[in-house]
Amino acid sequence: QSVLTQAPSVSGAPGQRVTISCTGSSSNIGAGYDVHWYQHLPGTAPKLLIYGNNNRPSGVPDRFSGSKSGTSASLAITGLQAEDEADYYCQSHDRSLSASVFGGGTKLTVL
């Protein structure tokens, strides 16, 4: 059971917009810790997608955006492309555990 909760799967057609949510608690996201997002294609190295809730590293398309409110965060992907099909993970810090914590991951399927 992951500390941060994500829906197991989400899907969308090419060109559509999808959102992936990440729900935490008062000891992590709700405590003011920022959220980072990673994209992972099985068998490859995970890739940093969004850091500090809504910042994109160099090279990440602006189709990807993040937000945070209260004890939750969201990743939005607009203009879905086939290459976006991957697993997406949120990550933050938990002050009670004194540890980095991840969500269980959301598998995005592009229909």
Which residue, 99 or 111, has its beta carbon nearer to other proteins?
Answer: 99
Name the residue among 76, 72, 71, 101 with its Cα closest to residue 88.
Answer: 76
Determine, following the binding rule CB under 8 A, whether residue 91 of this chain makes contact with other proteins: yes
Structure tokens at 42: 């099985």
Determine which helix (DSSP H) or strand (DSSP E) holds 49, and give its type and residue range: strand 47-50
CA distance 61 to 14: 16
Among 57, 61, 70, 79, binds other proteins (CB under 8 A): 57
Site string for other proteins, 4-43 (x = CB under 8 A): --x-------------------------xxx-x-x-x--x
Residue 88 binds to other proteins (criterion: CB under 8 A): no
